Amino acid sequence: MIFSIIHDFENGFSNGILAAASQKKYSIVSLSRLTNKRILLGVTGGIAAYKAAEIIRRLQDAQAEVRVVMTRSATEFITPLTLQALSGNPVHLDLLDTDAEAAMGHIELAKWADVVLIAPASANFIARLANGHANDLLTTLCLATIASIAVAPAMNQAMWLNKQTQENCKKLQERKTGIFGPGSGTQACGDVGPGRMLEPLELVKLTANIFPNGLLDGIRLLITAGPTREAIDPVRYISNHSSGKMGFALAKAGVDAGAKTTLIAGPVELPTPARVERIDIVSAEQMHDASLELSAHCDIFIASAAVADYRPVAAAQQKIKKNSESQLIELVRNPDILADVAAQTSRPFCVGFAAETQDVIHYAQDKLQRKKLDMIIANDVSATDIGFNAEDNAVTVIWPDGQEAIEKTSKHQLAKLLIKKIALCYQNANS
Ligand code: PMT
């Protein structure tokens, strides 16, 4: 009996099944699962290669980042320049291309990908993949990657029905490689039967289904992190001990949960988490401007930054000389970023932090009400092993009708718990 192979990707690749081609399990899939995901599109030689252009577009519509690797024979059907222009990234062609390797080496590319989708996948490519070849860039990448791999077969019906091709696909399936399609119908050569590549949108839906449902799929998350610096003169400033670790950990946890995440960062020495957009600012006023502008386009705002409450009325133009025994610097109150975001008519779900050294819960509850927040995270910053510039933290999460203490743990672990809690409260508020 002849089967087309369609996988049930509801839980990743673990439940592969042989199914009749008409069974379209992917129809219920949300494309938002592709937000921020990195898709390496492999294009092999076949007439369906022209459809790679549309696959790129559809993946990008779903907010995925796309990089393209083409086999040499694919370039006979569509030019690398076209796919480069559409993907916005250089197209990779050869294993031994020094320019391409310098930009992003093939191992780096293999590590970069969340999913490798090969569409169209020719009979020749499927045979090479099934047999573990590494004789071009694409097969080598497939051997080097730990990402999920899926192929979208596209070939003449006789080639697809050939026992050898069927065995190759079975081998791939046993290794949890996804086989998307093929569809059936009239072929470019005039034959009728199975072997047509699935349509781009169907392939994109199947690709989305590889990813488990994230708690914040499709949500736009904005986070402030780190300290601000308020200039006294060209060489001196007022600031605090915030390292940005808490906010950066939240950004990583947010993006891992599927959120499109933007981080407004004060001056900190931390690398930007992958797939997070970062905006660097220095002063509270700059953080205020960026937050108000970006919060108009976000669903959840988390203010973890330690914003300086005051700034010098005017920063001296020249370095202040130490001529006198004392020096008065007049300070003026900075705008309250969080309160201003929460005061907007069309406002995001607002989460604040309260850094306190005494009566922590009491002061945090006061800030929750006064700033009209949806949630506040009370942070005792009197201890040196948690809070400012520490690796760990311990907090109490407070919302209008409840609270929950989270014991000391790493900021990364805490961030995951906080994102979970925030996602649940956000969903409740919007259900
Ligand atoms: O950066 P780390 O070293 O990892 O340390 C993490 C942290 C201790 C800085 C963090 O967990 C934390 O508690 N951040 C809040 C620090 C703070 O300034 O708290 P606050 O109680 O003064 O402010 C209350 C809330 O209003 C905060 O969400 C703050 O971001 C916000 N705020 C305060 C003043 C202001 N002008 N604008 C604001 O938006």
Contact 311, 330 (CB under 8 A): no
Indicate the fold that domain 4-208 takes in CATH: Rossmann fold (3.40.50)
List the domain boundaries for the chain.
4-208, 220-312+328-429
Print burial letters for 199-223: b (CB count within 10 Å at least 16), e (below 16): bbbbbbbbbbbbbeebbbbbbbbbb
Atom of ligand 1 nearest to the CA of 376: 28
How many CB atoms neighbour CB 417 within 10 A? 15
Its pTM surpasses 0.85: no
Q: Is 425 annotated in the active site?
A: no
Residues in the chain: 431
Contact 109, 80 (CB under 8 A): no
CA of 306 to the centre of ligand 1 (A): 4
User: For the chain, how big is the Rg over CA atoms in Å?
Assistant: 27
- Return per-residue pLDDT of the chain as tens, 431 residues: 234 444 434 333 333 323 333 334 444 457 888 888 999 999 999 999 999 999 999 999 998 999 999 999 999 999 999 999 999 999 999 887 777 777 678 899 999 999 999 999 999 999 999 999 999 999 999 999 999 999 999 999 999 999 999 999 999 999 999 999 999 998 888 899 999 999 999 999 999 999 888 899 889 999 999 999 999 999 999 999 999 999 999 999 999 898 999 999 999 999 999 889 999 999 999 999 999 999 999 999 999 999 999 999 999 999 999 888 999 999 999 999 999 999 999 999 999 999 999 999 999 999 999 999 999 999 999 989 999 999 999 999 999 999 999 999 999 999 999 999 999 999 999 98
Q: Tell me the sheet residues that pair with 280.
A: 265
Verify whether ligand 1 is closer than 6 Å to residue 301 (CB atom): no
Helices 80-87, 52-61: crossing angle, 10 deg rounding: 10
Q: Which residues contact 277 (CB under 8 A, 6 or more apart)?
A: 261, 262, 263
The domain 220-312+328-429 belongs to what CATH superfamily? CoaB-like (3.40.50.10300)
Verify whether ligand 1 is closer than 6 Å to residue 290 (CB atom): no
Tokens of 191: 């034959």
4-208 against 220-312+328-429: fold identical:
yes
Contact 255, 275 (CB under 8 A): yes
Verify whether ligand 1 is closer than 6 Å to residue 283 (CB atom): no
Burial (CB count within 10 angstroms: exposed 0-12, middle 13-18, buried 19+), residue 404 = exposed
Verify whether ligand 1 is closer than 6 Å to residue 336 (CB atom): yes
Residue where the block lists tokens 């609270």: 403
